[in-house]
Structure formats: C-alpha cells, structure tokens
Amino acid sequence: MKRRDFSSLLAATPLAAATGTALAQGGPVDGRHYQTLNPPLPSTPGKIEVVEFFWYGCPHCYAFEPAVEAWTKQLPADVAFRKVHVAFRANVKIHQRMFYALEALGKEAATRQAIFAAMHQQGLALDDAKSQAKFLSPLGVDPVKYQEAYNSFGVITKCQQAEKLSEAYRIDGVPCIGIGGRFLTSPGLAAGGQRMPEHELGLKALQITDFLIQRVRSKA
C-alpha cells in the first residue's frame, strides 16, 4: 500500500527546532503540520465534517484508534465525525467491503476493536468474505446477513463513494484526517519533523485537528 513514509518524516531532525518554535509562537504551520485543499470540497452549512481515512490492517491506524475514540466523545455539536475506509490495493478493498457491510448492519463500531486485535495481535488476514463471516459470527454478526450486506449494491456504492472522497482529499496514506473539506492532517504531518512516540503523534494530530476545526468555524 502506498502511504506516507512515517520514518522519513520522523527522521527530518533539522526541522524539529523550527517546528517547536512555530507551534509555540503561532500554532500549526500550513504545509508543515497540515495541508490546505485548493479548491476546498463542498460542505454542509452549519456542520463541520471531520473524516478519518483509515485501513483495518494499518498498524498506524491501530495505534491511533484509542486517541481517536476518546477524542470523538468530546466533540462539539457542530462537528460531525465519520470514518472512511480506504482501498489502496486488492486486499484492502476486501477490508473496505467488510467495513461498509458491518456499517450497513449497524455492527461496525461494536466489532472494530476485535477486528483490529485479530489483524494486529493474532495475525489474521481476514482477506476474504468467508473468513470474515466466520470470524464475525461469535461477535453477534449473522453470517448470512453479513454475506448479503457484503455483496449488496448499497455496500458497493459506499465503497465507490469512499474512493471518490479519498481521491478528492488526495489521500496517499493512512491514518489521515480531513477537516471541513478544507484541510488535511495526520500523525506524520503533525510531527513536523519532531521525534516522539506514536501515541504522542496521534495526540498532536488531534490537537491540530481542533485548531483546524476552529479555522473552519471562524470562516463559516
């Protein structure tokens, strides 16, 4: 899967001092800690949409998930958050279908942690519908209904919409966060060249997301 090279971002040590000064003096810097979309994407009046682009099989997404989950519990009323599963290659497309099939059944949030654990702790690939249905059955997902949802027109359409949105935001790696159709950041971008543990990168990305939400709000 093509994704941002987090190791090269973290190795950019000459930027660290300048980044720290910029954050202290004036907040995140466009082009260093986040990117501005030009032109911006269409948005819904009165709502600021925040989108996390992710993949179940991405270790960085797995590491980011606890911080994102806690952050979403404190969102203001004018912010709408959702996850969008990317599809960079064939097996990722299969995981994308799993995400939207579970979402259609109202089971995605309840099974997400188990899926992450299965892929990153147990080494399960879950890269075909049959193995997915077998794994999900003990978690309360009916195998027949799952297969129907997996192959449904509605799920296929959701996958197509997800790919179009990923292209519109110019996503080339995950996790990434799109804010209000105007901005994009990620743990890798948020680092700005600084070395820090991955969980701290996630927290910094969410701090920058809060900053960008306020930017969108102030221009509404």
Domain ranges of the chain: 1-86+171-220, 87-169
Q: How far apart are the C-alpha atoms of 95 and 85, rounded to whole Å?
A: 8
Q: What is the mean pLDDT of the chain?
A: 89
- pTM score, whole prediction: 0.88
> How far apart are the C-alpha atoms of 215 and 220, rounded to whole Å?
9
Which residues does residue 35 pair with via DSSP β-bridges, in sequence order? 184
Per residue in 31-85, pLDDT (tens digit) is 999 999 999 999 989 999 999 999 999 999 999 999 999 999 999 999 999 999 9
State both tokens at 211.
């900053």
User: Is there a common fold for 1-86+171-220 and 87-169?
Assistant: yes
| CA nearest to 169, candidates 160, 178, 157, 161 | 178
- Quick one: which H or E segment has residue 53? strand 48-54
Question: pLDDT over 90 for what percent of the chain?
Answer: 82
* CA 48 – CA 215 distance, rounded (Å): 10
Q: What is the third-level CATH fold of 1-86+171-220?
A: Glutaredoxin (3.40.30)
DSSP string, 174-193: SSEEEETTTEEE-HHHHHTT
For 134-145, what is the mean pLDDT? 98
Written as six digits, the tokens of 150 are: 């997996």
Question: By mean pLDDT, which of 3-12, 88-97, 102-111, 154-163 is the weakest?
Answer: 3-12
CATH 3.40.30.10 fits 87-169, yes or no: yes
